[in-house]
Amino acid sequence: MTDTNPAEEARALIACLDLTDLNDGSSEADVDALIERAQTPHGNVAAICIWPRFVAHAKARLPAGMKLATVVNFPDGGEDIEAVIAEAKQAIADGTDEIDYVIAYRRIDGDPGYAARQVEKLREAIGGVTLKAILETGELHDPALIEVAAVSALHGGADFLKTSTGRTQTSATLPAARILLRSILQDESGRALGFKPSGGIRSFEDARAYRDLADEVMGKGWATPETFRIGASGVLADLLAVADGKRAPGERPAGTGSAY
């Protein structure tokens, strides 16, 4: 978005944010606070992402137009697909719009078809609900395995490719993001697909870098809330600071020890 100013860019990034609270000790009060934060002076975020046990509570409080996302098989990426399906179906009954599913990423090396079949089973079980496949790219280490995971998830019917849970030593990285985006670009299914970097995105500069990469690979203007989400809990404050004109790009964000 070279033709826009930083405040406009920050507002556009807020609109692509999946504002997240997946803390182990999260409560209904925390979810209420998340919903309040999600309604900013510069527009609402795209979605909130919370634990399944809070979906019904949040659904009754969510403003019109904001999506509700939850996680299943999170964060371990286990292999009990029937348990995952049951959890997802309950979340859908409670009102979720989107399911973020951690694939069985440990099986990618040696048995990538397994992960694809698991995604396909979940896809069939949840119907048209948006399915984001979390690949845990930081644990795959080899770029070739990241590509295999991406293609496997897409073949299984995932609507979005998501980098990571944010619970591992390495979360989203730009090289991994490029692999996921290229896999989306090369997909021949004809389905509308999206991309979600998640984990370690803490500043306006971080978020903009992923947005710019998405537009570079997919074409300028591709990264909209329908195709591009940012999974983060802490970046909103910095996006608001830039949108308010309180911080210029390149300055140190408040509360950090580096330029980014």
39 in a domain, yes or no? Answer: yes
What's the pLDDT band for 165 if we cut at 50, 70, 90?
A: very high
188 in a domain, yes or no? Answer: yes
Lowest mean pLDDT among 15-24, 97-106, 191-200, 241-250: 241-250
255 in a domain, yes or no? Answer: no
Asked whether 203 and 252 are in contact (CB, 8 A), the reply is no
Length of the chain: 260
Segments of 51-92 assigned E as strands: 67-72
1 in a domain, yes or no? Answer: no
Give me the torsion for CA of 189, 78, 23, 138, rounded to 10°.
-60
- Catalytic residue status for 21: no
Indicate whether 81 pLDDT > 50: yes
Q: How far apart are CA 61 and CA 64, in angstroms?
A: 9
pLDDT tens by residue, 166-187: 999 999 999 999 999 999 999 9
Indicate whether 256 pLDDT > 60: no
Average pLDDT, the chain: 95
What's the pLDDT band for 250 if we cut at 50, 70, 90?
A: confident
Give pLDDT, residue 2.
47
- Catalytic residue status for 196: yes
- Per the structure, the complete domain to which residue 186 belongs is given by 6-243
Nearest-5° Cα angle at 77, 94 to 177: 95
Indicate whether 259 pLDDT > 80: no
19 in a domain, yes or no? Answer: yes
Sign of CA dihedral 161, 96, 203, 207: positive
Indicate whether 136 pLDDT > 60: yes
Considering the candidates 21, 100, 159, 206, report the single residue annotated as catalytic. Answer: 100
100 in a domain, yes or no? Answer: yes
Considering the candidates 18, 21, 196, 206, report the single residue annotated as catalytic. Answer: 196
248 in a domain, yes or no? Answer: no
Instruction: Give this prediction's pTM.
Output: 0.94
- Catalytic residue status for 89: no
pLDDT tens by residue, 20-69: 999 999 999 999 999 999 999 999 999 999 999 999 999 999 999 999 99
Domain CATH for 136: 3.20.20.70
192 in a domain, yes or no? Answer: yes
Contacts of 29 (CB under 8 A, 6+ apart): none
Lowest mean pLDDT among 17-21, 154-158, 251-255: 251-255
Q: Could you give the percent of the chain with pLDDT greater than 90?
A: 93
What's the pLDDT band for 257 if we cut at 50, 70, 90?
A: very low
Which residue, among 195, 200, 213, 125, has the nearest Cα to 153 in the 3D structure?
Answer: 195
**Overall domain count for the chain:** 1
Q: How far apart are CA 170 and CA 184, in angstroms?
A: 22
Q: How far apart are CA 220 and CA 216, in angstroms?
A: 6
